[in-house]
Chains A and B, each alone.
Chain A
Amino acid sequence: MEKNRRDGSFYINPYLGGVLLGLVLFATYYITGRGLGASGAVKNTVVTTVDVIAPAHAEKSHYYSKFLNENSSPMNNWLVFEVLGVMAGAFLSGTLYGRLKLKNEHSPKIKPRTRLIAAVAGGLMFGIGSQLARGCTSGAALSGLAVLSASGMITMLGIFGSAYLFGWLFKKLWI
């Protein structure tokens, strides 16, 4: 496959990408003493936003109040900084493979708007689900499995098992 590596049609081999991700996780455990996460950063951003706009509500709520602390902002958290790094890294990787374009990738069978609505709806549901499960693919499944935790195994089975089921139903949003 002799393709121009910078025209955006080529990206890293997914198996190699997986190995690299594993090494990143390994290094993260070594350097920071804890695993990777993604939904936690979103959660902290939401908690901070609610706390700024409606502090009384945030304090009253059982969920938000858990993450609020008088001395330090929820934004002062490893996951928030990690996600900033993820964005910077994604930008760099997009640059190196010539994929730095603002575009909406969707199946030819659906409208771009449908794709956006479906993606936002899916993201919202995944966010709620990750809070019920106390972690997302990165925090619970990936980092959990790396230390062979049972909850990591269950999360992985839950996420990928339901993905197989619902993937079949919502396939046409993708291909």
Chain B
Amino acid sequence: MKEELFVSGRAIPNIDPYLNIWHWQIPLYLFLGGLAAGIMFFAALFTIMGKENEMSTAVKKAPIIAPIALVLGLLALLLDLKHKLYFWQLYTTIRYQSPMSWGAWVLMAITPLSMIWVASYMKELIPGWKWKNSLLDSFEAFIIKYRLWMAWIIIVLSVILGIYTGILLSAFNARPLWNTSILGPLFLVSGMSTGAATILLMSKSHEERRTMSWIDLLLIVVELFFITHLIMGMKAGSQVQIDAAALFLGGEFTAVFWVFVIVLGLVFPAVLEVLERIGYHIPVIIPVILILLGGLMFRFIMVEAGQITRYLY
């Protein structure tokens, strides 16, 4: 963009009438961050509950996805930056009022922790796995000894990470659709639901699948409840908020939001999971893929729609 050539503050591509500067990288990152937060939350939760063996996929296997998702998500964030080589400047300051600062620091902590978590289970996951360095071996023994402590740290960090994916948006007070405090819990629950679905897909134990599908169903219900409240809160707000809600209630995002997020992403997989529970045979991959796609679509829609809502006209 050649800012020096602007002759008017109006009709500028991507700035006016709509500021549209966040593209696919941000929603993709929000999805992957939420997914990783969900997976690490359950890994830590079941470790704290002492159920490493009953819930072995959640604790040992599924966390492999977390560092991969985090690295890909961080890559997407890097791609979004205009001056990519300046990313490290986020780490020259700690600003507790800034969600981006919170996010940057939490990611700085949880990404290596998730890698260490996976590494500490490598010997159990791959028989015959050997660290080729005695230092690594003693470090592994140290981690295994203090794994419970690590789980406590991870459970806190994963909740912060999950909430932060929503707060990142809701801190924008100039965007009425985002500027609601329910977005944090909503994104947390949605991220946990995608994490639970991933564990459900990877698990081979009947008992574990049952537990995870219960949890996932509960999370879907809570998510629907939060979405209802998001819309109700908007409807009860000022005109800009009412306009923001109207995007989903007859406006341009109505069809994609209701079809891909609510029906195909939440209600339909919930129905399939209920049918599975009462004895019908359903390949687990179908509800899981629907939940993951629904979560991804939800973030894309929220980021896209949020950018076109505003206070000033």
Contacts and interface: CB of A to CB of B under 8 A. Distances in A.
B282 interface: yes
A6 interface: yes
Interface in A23-69: none
B268 A98 contact: no
Contacts of A91: 286
A103 to B, nearest CB: 14
Interface in B237-274: 255, 259, 263-264, 268, 271-272
B275 interface: yes
A84 B286 contact: no
A96 interface: yes
Nearest to B256: A76
A81 interface: yes
A92 interface: yes
Name A's interface SS. Answer: helix
A98 B280 CA distance: 7
Contact of A92 (B255, B271, B281, B283): B271
A91 B285 CA distance: 13
Contacts of B255: 76, 81
Interface in A78-97: 81, 84-85, 88, 91-92, 95-96
A150 interface: no
Given A76-B255, A81-B255, A81-B259, A95 B281 contact: yes
Contacts of A96: 275, 280
A170 B252 CA distance: 47
Contacts of B272: 92, 95
A148 interface: no
Interface in B263-308: 263-264, 268, 271-272, 275, 280-283, 286
Given A95-B281, A98-B280, A88 B264 contact: yes
A100 interface: yes
Contact of B282 (A81, A85, A88, A95): A95
Contact of B264 (A6, A76, A84, A95): A84
Contacts, number: 27
Name B's interface SS. Answer: helix
Contacts of A84: 259, 264
A95 B283 CA distance: 10
B280 A88 contact: no
A96 B255 CA distance: 27
Contacts of A6: 280
B253 to A, nearest CB: 11
Given A88-B264, A100-B283, A95 B259 contact: no
A74 B12 CA distance: 27
Give the most central of A84, A88, A92: most B CB within 10 Å: A88
Nearest to B268: A88
Contacts of B259: 81, 84-85
A43 to B, nearest CB: 18
A121 B272 CA distance: 34
Nearest to A89: B268
Contact of B280 (A76, A85, A95): A95
A98 B275 CA distance: 12
Interface string A1-19: 0000010000000000000
Interface in A158-175: none
Contacts of A95: 272, 275, 280-282
Contacts of B286: 91
A6 B268 CA distance: 21
B153 to A, nearest CB: 41
B264 A100 contact: no
A96 B271 CA distance: 12
Contacts of A92: 271-272, 275
Contacts of B271: 92
Contacts of B264: 84, 88
23 contacts: A6-B280, A76-B255, A81-B255, A81-B259, A84-B259, A84-B264, A85-B259, A85-B263, A88-B263, A88-B268, A91-B286, A92-B271, A92-B272, A92-B275, A95-B272, A95-B275, A95-B281, A95-B282, A96-B275, A98-B280, A98-B281, A100-B281, A100-B282
Closest A-B pairs by Cβ, 10 of them: A95-B280, A81-B259, A88-B268, A95-B282, A81-B255, A95-B275, A84-B259, A100-B281, A88-B264, A98-B281
